Amino acid sequence: MKFLDEYQNSELATKLAHRIANHSTKPIRLMEFCGGHTHAIMRHGIRQLVPATVEMRAGPGCPVCVTATTDLDKAIALAWLPNVTITTFGDMMRVPGSYSSLQRTKAEGADVRVVYSTIDAMEIARENPKKSVIFIGIGFETTAPTIAASIIKAQQGGIENFHVLSCLKLTPPVMKALLDSGEVKLDGIICPGHVSVIIGSRPYEFIPADYGVACVISGFEPIDILLCVGKLVEQIEAGQPKVEIAYRRGVKPQGNRKALELMGEVFQIDGANWRGIGIVPQSGLKINQKYEHFDAAKVFSGLLRCARNDKPVREPKGCRCGDILRGVATPFECHLFGKVCTPEKPVGPCMVSSEGACAAYYQYGSPESSGKI
């Protein structure tokens, strides 16, 4: 990007950090709802740059991490069905399910392939007409339009052996669920950048209106995040919470009309199961009736019940990934972190994914980080 260096200028970052410190007079807690933000915050030392009055917590912003174990178990069960090929993004491969993982399932002989896009998965289906090719559709509003586009393209191309297991999730409803739970008191939210490129800023307006919580949409460079934190501090100090965009080169209030149209064409809103949170109403996307012949959960429902054999869902013992996703705990407060659970031998998905909070804290963090400048 042209002028990218401007968003990584250390001198400007220091000035912004001092400005935040000068404006911040009371303890506040902020939460970021994007795994990309969590990694940027840790990588660039933002927690150390902001004053000690500003606490920053990771939320449920990693699509791999929030995928419930029951959904992963379903994907693994689908892999063992006759003439089925599972396609998935690479981060999903090592996430532990109740009894196995997609990586282990592949090693044991199932046809599981890593793809880089939904179009790759669709092409595999085109080239293998005698196999049912299932794409494991995880992600938020950022990913949903591309999955919708692939389903439409498969429909137009007559690729009837392409299917999607939709585990797609929507961000504003889970924000509401966390605020309603009252487990963690939040003063401000760093709203996700990529999600907001799609949905715009308007879907967050209920948060300051109904909960009195400040909201600012941020980009991913250090200057972006410090600008965002500065705006949040100013809102909170003034007692005037609202929705602001600190990422105007990417986000418009109305969002991306074409992407929203694609989502509306293929999906309908439904409840979704979030790891560590449970079923959140109106927070998921399922394939609608018009395209239901591409819906793996529907097409293979009978075979899936037989394959799963009603085995109970099991969560990793001692893993606090669910607490970390809700902001109840930091990775440092999990007894497995960095000892039993490492990137080489992950116990939970928060250590597996490139957007997971535990992976970010393991790579960049230290419990001694004071947050002072």
pLDDT by residue (tens digit) across 187-217?
A: 999 999 999 999 999 999 999 999 999 999 9
Tell me how far apart the alpha carbons of residues 53 and 68 are, in angstroms, rounded to a whole number. Answer: 34
Question: Running DSSP on this structure, what letter comes out for residue 293?
Answer: G
Do the domain assignments include residue 372?
A: no
**Is the confidence at residue 367, as pLDDT, over 70?**
no
Structural domain harbouring 213: 1-311
Do the domain assignments include residue 328?
A: yes
Q: Token pair of 101, please? A: 């993982």
Among 76, 85, 33, 25, smallest CA distance to 56 is for 33
pLDDT the model gives residue 279: 97
Task: Read off the CATH number of the domain in which 287 is found.
Answer: 3.40.50.11740
Mean pLDDT of 11-17: 91
Do the domain assignments include residue 354?
A: yes
> Do 243 and 204 touch, CB atoms closer than 8 A?
yes
Q: Token pair of 19, please? A: 């400005």
Are 57 and 195 in a shared domain? yes
Among 342, 323, 344, smallest CA distance to 333 is for 323
How far are the Cα atoms of 125, 156, 238, 286 from residue 265, in angstroms, in the given order?
A: 22, 14, 42, 11
The pLDDT tens digits of the residues spanning 118-160 come to 999 999 999 999 999 999 999 999 999 999 999 999 999 999 9
The pLDDT tens digits of the residues spanning 300-328 come to 988 776 655 667 899 989 999 999 999 99
- Average pLDDT score over the chain: 93
Residue 10 banded pLDDT, cuts 50, 70, 90: confident
At which residue do the structure tokens 């965002």 appear?
Answer: 228
Q: Say whether 203 sits in a helix, a strand or coil.
A: helix
Mean pLDDT of 288-297: 97
Give the number of other CB atoms < 10 A from CB of residue 280.
Answer: 22
pLDDT the model gives residue 41: 95
Question: Running DSSP on this structure, what letter comes out for residue 52?
Answer: T
Are 338 and 243 in a shared domain? no
Are 291 and 254 in a shared domain? yes
Are 65 and 33 in a shared domain? yes
Do the domain assignments include residue 15?
A: yes
Mean pLDDT of 347-366: 92
Do the domain assignments include residue 371?
A: no
Are 209 and 350 in a shared domain? no
Residue 4 banded pLDDT, cuts 50, 70, 90: low
Last residue of one domain, picked from the residues 311, 337, 356: 311
The pLDDT tens digits of the residues spanning 74-100 come to 999 999 999 999 999 999 999 999 999
Q: Say whether 29 sits in a helix, a strand or coil.
A: strand
Are 182 and 102 in a shared domain? yes
Question: Running DSSP on this structure, what letter comes out for residue 22?
Answer: H
Are 257 and 125 in a shared domain? yes
Tell me how far apart the alpha carbons of residues 65 and 333 are, in angstroms, rounded to a whole number. Answer: 17
Residue 44, CB half-sphere, CA atoms under 13 Å: how many?
23
Do the domain assignments include residue 370?
A: no
Last residue of one domain, picked from the residues 311, 332, 356: 311
pLDDT the model gives residue 9: 80
At which residue do the structure tokens 């535990």 appear?
Answer: 358
Do the domain assignments include residue 358?
A: yes
**Is the confidence at residue 372, as pLDDT, over 50?**
no
pLDDT the model gives residue 138: 96
Element of type H or E holding 261: helix 257-266
The pLDDT tens digits of the residues spanning 272-291 come to 999 999 999 999 999 999 99
Residues near 262 by beta carbon (within 8 Å), at least 6 away in sequence: 144, 145, 148, 149, 152
For residues 5 and 11, the model is more confident at 11
The pLDDT tens digits of the residues spanning 235-245 come to 999 999 999 99
Residues near 53 by beta carbon (within 8 Å), at least 6 away in sequence: 24, 25, 26, 27, 28
Based on its alpha-carbon atoms, the radius of gyration of the chain, rounded to whole angstroms, reads: 21
Residue 200, CB half-sphere, CA atoms under 13 Å: how many?
12
Are 291 and 346 in a shared domain? no
- What whole-number percentage of the chain has pLDDT above 90? 90
Are 91 and 125 in a shared domain? yes
Tell me how far apart the alpha carbons of residues 29 and 37 are, in angstroms, rounded to a whole number. Answer: 16
Residue 7 banded pLDDT, cuts 50, 70, 90: confident
Are 83 and 124 in a shared domain? yes
**Is the confidence at residue 370, as pLDDT, over 70?**
no
**Is the confidence at residue 40, as pLDDT, over 60?**
yes
Last residue of one domain, picked from the residues 266, 283, 311: 311
- Residue type (1 letter), 157: G
Are 183 and 325 in a shared domain? no
Domain count, the chain: 2
pLDDT the model gives residue 302: 80
Residues near 156 by beta carbon (within 8 Å), at least 6 away in sequence: none
